[in-house]
């Protein structure tokens, strides 16, 4: 017989909600470490491993996206609308980029490829405004 401790289920789903709230409050595409730092204001004793586990569950549930932008670490995004990403090659900053005509262009591109395309991602790599300023 399997006994389920309903208290622990409640606690875990509450933690997951809190983590989702942190992600929804930022457009910074943070790492798990950043989320861990922020969430400690709400859940002081939470471990980084628990944060990782909850983030993975949110990804599995389709509530957030996980990206490898080539910056070494997994980054998390609660923005569910279709958007391109701009990645600064100097500071690793990730910005959402969604010009109005983008979905038409992506649809046209996907149609032009004679394969079954299920999914498209657009990554733009360069130098962000902030880094451009400090360089000159």
> Which stretches of the chain bind Zn ion, using CB under 5 A?
77, 79, 88, 90-91, 93, 96, 128, 131
Residues 46 and 64 sit within 8 Å (Cβ to Cβ): no
Closer by beta carbon to Zn ion, 38 or else 77: 77
Residues in CB range of 14: below 8 A, 6 or more apart: none
Closer by beta carbon to Zn ion, 66 or else 110: 66
Residues in CB range of 94: below 8 A, 6 or more apart: 28, 29, 67, 69, 71, 75, 85, 86, 87, 88
- Least separation in angstroms between residue 118's CB and Zn ion is 19
- Least separation in angstroms between residue 2's CB and Zn ion is 39
- Least separation in angstroms between residue 87's CB and Zn ion is 9
- Least separation in angstroms between residue 81's CB and Zn ion is 9
Closer by beta carbon to Zn ion, 47 or else 90: 90
Residue 77: count of CB within 10 angstroms of its CB:
19
The Cα–Cα gap between 49 and 15 comes to 13
Closer by beta carbon to Zn ion, 39 or else 64: 64
């Amino acid at each position: 017989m399997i006994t389920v401790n309903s208290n622990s289920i409640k606690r875990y789903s509450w933690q997951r909600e809190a983590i989702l709230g942190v992600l929804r409050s930022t457009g910074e595409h943070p790492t798990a470490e950043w989320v861990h730092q922020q969430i400690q204001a709400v859940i002081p004793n939470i471990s980084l491993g628990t944060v990782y586990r909850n983030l993975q569950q949110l990804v599995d549930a389709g509530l957030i996206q996980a990206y490898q932008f080539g910056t070494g670490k997994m980054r998390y995004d609660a923005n569910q609308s279709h958007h391109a990403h701009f990645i600064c090659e100097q500071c690793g900053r990730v910005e959402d980029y969604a010009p109005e005509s983008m979905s038409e262009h992506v649809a046209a591109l996907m149609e032009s490829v004679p394969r079954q395309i299920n999914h498209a991602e657009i990554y733009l790599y360069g130098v962000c405004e902030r880094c451009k300023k400090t360089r000159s």
